[in-house]
Amino acid sequence: MATTTSTRVLLASRPHGRPTAENFRVESVELSPLADGEVRVVNDFCSVDPYMRGRMNDVKSYVPPFGLDEPLTGGAVGHVVESRADALSVGDVVLHQLGWRDVAQAPADQFRTVEEVPGVPLSAHLGILGMTGLTAWVGLRVIAGLREGDVVFVSGAAGAVGSAAGQIARLLGASRVVGSAGSPEKVERLTSRYGFDAGLDYKAAPVREQLPALVPDGVDVYFDNVGGEHLEAALDVLSTDGRAALCGAIAQYNDTKRAPGPDNLSNVVTKSLTLKGFTLPAYLDHAAEFAAAMGPWLAAGDVMHDETVVDARDDVGAFVDAFLGLFDGDNTGKMVVRTA
Interacting residues of 327 by C-beta distance below 8 A, sequence separation 6+: 18, 50, 53, 250, 253, 254
Give the model confidence (pLDDT) of 119-149 as tens digits: 788 999 999 999 999 999 999 999 999 999 9
Per DSSP, what are the bridge partners of residue 221? 152, 243
Strand partners, 178: 153, 198
Query: Is residue 90 located within the same domain as residue 49?
Result: yes
More confident residue, 282 or 255: 282
Q: What is the mean pLDDT of residues 255-283?
A: 89
Task: Tell me the mean pLDDT in the region 293-307.
Answer: 91
Proportion of the chain above pLDDT 70, given as a percent: 98
Same domain as 140, residue 22 = no
- Residue 213, domain extent: 131-281
Task: Say if 288 falls within a structural domain.
Answer: no
Using one digit for the tens of pLDDT, what is the confidence trace for 175-207? Answer: 999 999 999 999 999 999 999 999 999 999 999
* CATH label of the domain that carries residue 71: 3.90.180.10
Where does the pLDDT of residue 256 fall: very low under 50, low under 70, confident under 90, or very high at 90 and above?
low
Are residues 268 and 235 in contact, defined by beta-carbon separation less than 8 angstroms?
A: yes
Report which secondary-structure segment, H or E, holds 184.
helix 184-192
Together in a domain, 9 and 29: yes
**Does one domain contain both 176 and 102?**
no
53-112 pLDDT, tens digit per residue, is 999 999 887 788 999 999 999 999 999 999 999 999 999 999 999 999 999 999 999 999
What phi-psi label fits residue 173: left (phi over 0), alpha (psi between -120 and 50 degrees) or beta? left
Q: Is residue 289 part of a domain?
A: no
Considering the domain architecture, whether residues 154 and 204 belong to the same structural domain is answered as: yes
For residue 2, is pLDDT > 60? no
- Give dist(CA 233, CA 262) in Å, integer: 9
What's residue 1's pLDDT?
46
Q: Single out the residue of 307, 258, 271, 151 nearest to residue 215, CA to CA.
A: 151
Structure confidence at residue 340 (pLDDT): 85
Same-domain status, 114 and 139: no
Same domain, 138 and 268: yes
Residue 250 has a pLDDT of 72
Cβ 169 vs Cβ 162: under 8 Å: no
Lowest mean pLDDT among 16-20, 129-133, 161-165, 246-250: 246-250
Number of domains in the chain: 2
Q: What confidence tier does 332 reach under pLDDT thresholds 50, 70, 90? A: confident
Assess whether 94 and 212 both reside in one domain.
Answer: no
Return d(Cα 10, Cα 33) in angstroms, integer. 22
281 versus 187: the higher-pLDDT residue is: 187
Write down the mean pLDDT value for the chain: 94
Quick one: 150 and 194 in the same domain?
yes
- Kind of pairing between the strands at 334-338 and 219-224: unpaired
CATH code, domain with 243: 3.40.50.720
Element holding 38 (H helix, E strand): strand 38-47
CB 8 within 8 A of CB 27: yes
